Amino acid sequence: MIGIYSPGHSILHRTPTGAKLLLLLTFTSALLIFRSITTMGIAAVVLLVAYVLARIPLRLAMTQLKPLRWILPILFAFQWWLLGIESATLITSTLLLAVAAAALITLTTPVSAMMATLERMMRPGQRWGLPAERIALVLALTIRVVPVIADIVNQVRDARRARGAERSMRALVTPVVIKTVGHAHELGDALIARGLDD
Amino acid sequence: MICFNNVGLTYEDRNVLTEITCELNEPRVGIIGANGSGKSSLLRLINGLTTPTTGTVTVGGLDPTDHGRDVRSRVSFLFSNPDAQIVMPTVGEDIEFSLRRNKISALERHERISQALALVGLSDYQEHPAHLLSSGQKQLLAMAAIMVTEPDILLCDEPTTLLDRRNTRVLIDIIDALPQQIIMATHDLDLVSQWPRVLVMEHGEIIADSSGHEAVATYKATVDR
Ligand SMILES: Nc1ncnc2c1ncn2[C@@H]1O[C@H](COP(=O)(O)OP(=O)(O)OP(=O)(O)O)[C@@H](O)[C@H]1O
Ligand SMILES: [Mg+2]
């Protein structure tokens, strides 16, 4: 699951958050600017070394990429058909490497540190009305909500199966939407009660 | 001190609360009554989550609608569903979220987070992802995240509804030991039967306001009649 911090004391854990974000930006830009199989190879090695340095277990690293398991093959097939196999390889590997790099940052950085840094980086923009703190909070909330929604979807899927409506899309989407809206209301109340509004 | 002065609450044409007048000063006040009788609505008025249609509510002399910030900094709310109350990805971060407005040193911040975790027995979970906690542990985390702000009053809306027997016991023992004033809506009649003051709600009105023992008897009578 993207966004879950894995505590540790590796060099990556100790690198300041701002520096890590800058590295991520450089890494991703390099992938986009120097589009070649060689670049992808180099980037893959650099990233693997970084994962090893961060002492992230292979299994945890793989779960970071799980959300891509459907989209990547589809993207690849599509690009292959439209632009040929070389472009397809480049585009999918760019995406894969960029997501893996972003995941490494979230694995080695507590969300609170990420929020604080993002807030600091956005501070110059506050003069022009950029709500830095809000943006940082939205980010953290989004990460927190992912497992909750996943839970809701699982519950609804079970309920649907129990009622013998496995194939009905409506029996899945409608309750998920209703429950999600309900959750949003409750979350809003809790945020107000915890002083967010003030 | 919490004062309701002739409070009414209407949604569209439906009267949810009518002519509520009372003062809540006791350290423990229970609220019982059927589903939809208005217990949650009553609690929500106290910290300004809902605004009364008629009449006034005051907390320590302040109107929660006009002074939301001041009232909510002193009045905390524990809801039933812990998942909706935890807003940060890890246990420690969620408690820290409560302190984000407190101008205190990093050391004191750390100190208070540790104390709050110790209060609910989650000291070993500071770095733990919140979504991997059990429901009971999540509710204890929600409790810790509230208590770290050191409120004067704690409003609880069926705080144990989603918990098993053991976690209910754990949470209730913690609540029992708190020095704060506690106003609790609940369906757990055994829990409030020993309390000095319990309100019984029916169709948006307070139909009984007495000792826990009598209130429970009154409520049971309304169900049986
Ligand atoms: N936001 C709202 N909009 C419309 N009606 C509402 C709203 N909130 C509550 N109600 C209605 O007000 C009435 C009282 O609800 P409330 O939640 O206060 O009852 P309750 O005593 O807490 O019930 P329960 O035991 O089920 O929690 C119900 O009929 C409910 O449908
Ligand atoms: Mg209720």
Give percent of chain B with pLDDT exceeding 90.
85
From B129's Cα to the closest Cα of chain A, the distance in A is: 7
**Given this model, what pLDDT does residue A198 score?**
58
pLDDT the model gives residue B21: 96
Chain B residues close to A195, C-beta within 8 Å: 69, 72-73, 98, 101, 149
Q: Give tens-digit pLDDT for A51-94.
A: 888 888 888 888 888 878 878 888 888 888 888 888 888 888 99
Same domain, yes or no, for B15 and B39?
yes
Tell me the CA–centroid distance for residue B82 and ligand 1, in Å. Answer: 19
Residue B57 and residue B70 share a domain: yes
**CA of B94: how far to CAs of A23, A106, A152, B27, in Å?**
28, 17, 21, 28
Looking at the structure, tell me whether residues B146 and B166 fall in a common domain. no
b/e for A24-52, b at 16 or more Cβ within 10 A?
A: eeebbeebeeeeeeebbeebeeebeebbe
The neighbour count for residue A152, using CB atoms within 10 Å, is 19
Among B68, B83, B89, select the one facing A140 at the smallest CB separation.
B89
pLDDT digit string, tens, across residues B72-84: 999 999 999 999 8
Closest-CA residue to A76 (of A60, A87, A65): A87
Nearest CA-CA partner of A108 in A12, A1, A178: A12
Q: Are residues A75 and A25 in the same domain?
A: yes
The CATH number that applies at residue B163 is 3.40.50.300
pLDDT of residue A1: 43
Q: Are A114 and A139 in contact (CB under 8 A)?
A: yes
Is residue B54 located within the same domain as residue B161?
Answer: yes
Mean pLDDT per 10-residue segment, chain A (198 residues): 73 89 89 87 87 85 80 85 86 90 89 81 79 76 80 85 79 83 87 81
Of B13, B20, B32, B40, the residue with max ligand 1 atoms within 8 A of its CB, to mutate for a pocket test, comes to B40
Mean pLDDT of chain B: 94
Q: Which domain holds residue A38?
A: 11-109
One domain for residues B93 and B49: no
Residue A116 lies in a domain: no
Domain co-membership, B11 together with B69: yes
B127–A5 C-beta distance less than 8 A:
yes
- Domain containing residue B91: 82-150
Chain B residue with Cα closest to A192: B49
Please give the pLDDT value at position A197.
67
- Per the structure, the count of domains in chain B is 2
* Phi-psi label, residue A192: left if phi above 0, alpha if psi -120 to 50, beta otherwise: alpha
Report the alpha-carbon distance of residue A139 to residue A147 in Å, rounded: 14
Residues ≥6 apart with Cβ < 8 Å to B86? A144, B94, B130, B138, B141, B142, B145
Cβ(B204)–Cβ(B38) below 8 Å: yes
pLDDT of residue A158: 86
Return the half-sphere exposure (C-beta side, CA atoms, 13 A cut-off) of residue A79: 16
Residues A81, A27 share a domain: yes
Query: How many structural domains compose chain A?
Result: 2
B202 and B141 in a common domain: no
Q: Which pLDDT belongs to residue B175?
A: 94
Q: Which atom of ligand 1 is nearest to the CA of B39?
A: 21
Domain stop point among B115, B150, B185? B150
How is residue B32 written in tokens?
């019982």
SS3 B9: strand
Q: Please indicate, yes or no, if residue A58 is contained in any of the structural domains.
A: yes
- Is residue B170 located within the same domain as residue B223? yes
ipTM value, please give it: 0.87
Q: Are residues A100 and A21 in the same domain?
A: yes
Centre of ligand 2 from the C-alpha of residue B40, in Å: 4
Q: Per the CB < 8 Å rule, is B84 touching A189?
A: yes
Helix-strand-coil percent breakdown of chain A, rounded to 5? 80, 0, 20
Which of A51, A79, A109 is a domain's end point?
A: A109
Name the band, by pLDDT with cuts 50, 70 and 90, for residue B196.
Answer: very high
pTM score above 0.90: no
CA distance A182 to B84: 10
A109-122 burial: b if 16+ Cβ within 10 Å, else e: bbbbbbbebbbeeb
Do A21 and A64 fall within a single domain?
A: yes
Is A4 inside any structural domain? Answer: no
pLDDT tens figures, B97-114: 999 888 889 899 999 999
Whether residue B49 and residue A192 make contact (CB cut-off 8 A), yes or no, is yes
- pLDDT tens per residue, range B117-128: 999 999 999 989
